[in-house]
Structure 1
Amino acid sequence: MPSHPSGQRSQQPGTLLDKDAGNQPVKSDIVRILLAVATEAGFPPSEWLPEGLLAIDDHGQIPSLLGYAQACAIIRRAVQDLPIPDLGLRVGIRQDVGHFGVLGLAMFSAQTFGEALRIGIRFAPTTGAMLDLSVQEQAPTAGDDNENAGVAICARMRHPDSMIEAFLCEELFVSCINLCRGLLGSGFAPQRLEMAQPRPAYAADMAMLLGCDIDFDCAENRAFIAERWLRTRMPAHHPDSARHTLALCETQLPPSNAERDIVTAVERLLRLRLGTHPRETEIAAELHLTERSLRRRLHAANTSFREIHDRLRCEAADAMLATSTATVADIGTSLGFSDPREFRRAFKRWTGAPPRPRRATRKSHAARDAHFDQSNT
């Protein structure tokens, strides 16, 4: 798709788990809204989301928390398979002050917008934000009468994955500017935006929605806020409410989740051995644990050795089907399957479809996206 070209990604799907953020829990709001947008566009989850990737109950509800890597995998699948190039914008525009919960109230209660902005960045994890945010002070340049003074809000992925980075940045900036307009009024707009992604076909719509100029193919993803906005006093400032809501925000921060360390360690060892069909006892020995201790610690992290192994093999297989010309049998062999039939059965169990139809679907979508690119140039 125009905003997330597969040729741009710096890593293959699955590498989001190379570090310890893979098992960090995040609120599922972004995924929930994404599913709603896709369904309303005529693409219910049953048509594009692999079985087992996300638990959806009989009422269409999903868990309130997801693993960071799980959420990334769902978004990646949507970006790859859905013909909705401006998906990030559509998800972001649906979020207003109410979607930010207690954090929105804490920002309302701040003394100035600058203080509210820093509160929002500090407690962004309570809202399900999937990017790491930081503030960069922007000093005025000589002779500009403070026109360029203010701050830049920088958004970075925890681990680079340009397949979904554009979606996450578009969703973040649109939803946050919606929030700021809820706090300050409809006249709020950033000075400008810098986006790392290539210029998409819908760039003009994005600029109109955000109310500012946007530069693409930049080194970072940044929103620039003028000093005059930072000095603006919040109309609903109340010291007692501010203290109370900040205390609530503290309680809602995600746990450090020490259990994810063992999951990360297992993932790293398994990724090095996907072609050798490693046993749980071997991985436990390398971690200086008994097999029973490893099982207990993985259970405490709400997962298991088999679940991690299957997930990594599924991600690797899907990536190879999409990006390589290797035969299905060769892909199975590279993942430790001695019998191609065994690999086909496993892949269907993981994704709900056999490998060959899955590869054909991916090629069809790639051709469709290429046609979309040409029609928008």
Structure 2
Amino acid sequence: MLVTPLPRNLIDAIADAGVDLDDAAREAGINQEALESGVTIAEAGRFIGVAWRRLDDPAFGLRAGCVLRPERYGISGLTAMASPTFGAALQRKARYNRLVWGDTYRIRQDAKEFTVVTEAPDESNPWGYSKVDMEFASLLTFGRRFASAAMAPIKVTLRRPRPSFVALYEQIFRCPISFAQPINSISFSQADALRPLISADHRAAQWLEFGARAALEQMDDSSVTQRVRAQLERMLQGDEPTLAVVASELCMSERTLQRRLSAEGQTFRRVLDEMRRDIAQRSLAAGKRNVIELAYLLGFEDSNSFYRSFRRWTGTTPESYRKAVNE
């Protein structure tokens, strides 16, 4: 069973906002000490649900993301702090963020931009959008604290509908912000990504990354097929994940990953195909996305390619499937 601590800075922000942690944990059916020692995904969801109701502040994620205590980062944050540059820190956060109930990031780069993409798996919950707000605000706050106080993103795109507190987004991010978009993303210039961190420490980074990798291995007590499926679900956000990228995220070589999948009677291509099918069926049943958007998020070249694959999976079209499951 997957057990992970909640981010310490999140716990601090909830307490600072006036929520009695012990009482909220009791209502959620867990011990307060478990919030930092480790809770299951279900327990974390129950606690956040209770805290969210008591906070009664839809902008809480933005406010929480701007309040960071370096001594409370946890291993993923400390590993990022020791990185040589802001971009390297984001790469490490992308790899180790789930050690503290965070969403895995996908990094996209070109000659001009360094973009972080994430899609909260609990986006349907009341606090799902707020969690993305907190992730992005915390990344920017990290950059301003350790790289450049004047840092500002190039742009931010969010899946959430336009909220009533747009002015707060503008005040924090100081860049163009687009709502109701296909993906959650925050883009920085490559110049900002290359900014050195004042907290950089090569020797500490080596030891911290060793510990973070070991912690990931300890968390992942499930089969390698289940681990690949979980990684693919986080990464299917517009590009087709490759074997090399997934192997790197799971801290193993391509050959090792292929060998371990084969031992379980699987191949990477088959697991990817099955994961695409499962996500497509769930999304269509929930009515969360249209076909064009879904084809893009699952990494297909175009909607026609998605149509062909969906008919191969189910024997019917996406529209017919959606209609049948919702009758």
Structure-2-length-normalised TM-score: 0.59
Question: What's the counterpart of residue 56 of structure 2?
Answer: 83
* CA apart distance, 1:228: 0.8
The change in CA–CA distance for 1:27 and 1:233 in structure 2 (over 3 A counts) is: same
The change in CA–CA distance for 1:190 and 1:102 in structure 2 (over 3 A counts) is: same
1:112 counterpart = 2:112: no
Code of the residue aligned with 1:125 in structure 2: it is R
Instruction: Tell me the distance in 1 between the aligned counterparts of 2:72 and 2:168.
Output: 23
Question: What's the counterpart of residue 199 of structure 1?
Answer: 162
Percent of residue pairs identical: 17
The change in CA–CA distance for 1:183 and 1:53 in structure 2 (over 3 A counts) is: same
Q: Is the 8 A contact 1:193 1:212 kept in 2?
A: yes
Code of the residue aligned with 2:11 in structure 1: it is R
The C-alpha deviation readout for 1:194-251, integer Å capped at 9, x for no partner, is: 1111122222112212232221111111010111112223445443333222222223
Q: Is the 8 A contact 2:5 2:35 kept in 1?
A: no
* CA apart distance, 1:33: 2.9
Aligned positions of 1:129-278 closer than 5 A: 129-137=101-109, 139=110, 149-158=112-121, 160-253=123-216, 255-258=219-222
Question: What's the counterpart of residue 121 of structure 1?
Answer: 94
* CA apart distance, 1:134: 0.8
Aligned positions of 1:278-289 closer than 5 A: none
* CA apart distance, 1:136: 1.7
Q: Could you say what the CA RMSD is over the residues aligned between the two structures, in angstroms? A: 3.0
Instruction: Tell me the distance in 1 between the aligned counterparts of 2:95 and 2:208.
Output: 13
Kindly indicate whether structure 1 or structure 2 has the higher relative contact order, using CA contacts under 8 Å at least 6 residues apart.
Answer: 1
Code of the residue aligned with 2:219 in structure 1: it is P
Code of the residue aligned with 1:207 in structure 2: it is E
Indicate the SS of the match to 1:223. strand
* CA apart distance, 1:256: 0.7
Residue segments in structure 1 that go unaligned for 5+ positions in a row: 1-22, 141-148, 263-377
Question: What's the counterpart of residue 268 of structure 2?
Answer: none
Q: How many residues align?
A: 223
1:98 counterpart = 2:71: yes
Q: Is the 8 A contact 2:147 2:196 kept in 1?
A: no
The higher radius of gyration belongs to 1
Question: What's the counterpart of residue 27 of structure 1?
Answer: 5
Code of the residue aligned with 2:191 in structure 1: it is R
The change in CA–CA distance for 1:108 and 1:87 in structure 2 (over 3 A counts) is: closer
1:55 counterpart = 2:28: no
* CA apart distance, 1:258: 2.9
Instruction: Tell me the distance in 2 between the aligned counterparts of 1:242 and 1:50.
Output: 37
Indicate the SS of the match to 1:199. coil
Aligned positions of 1:278-357 closer than 5 A: none
The change in CA–CA distance for 1:104 and 1:80 in structure 2 (over 3 A counts) is: closer
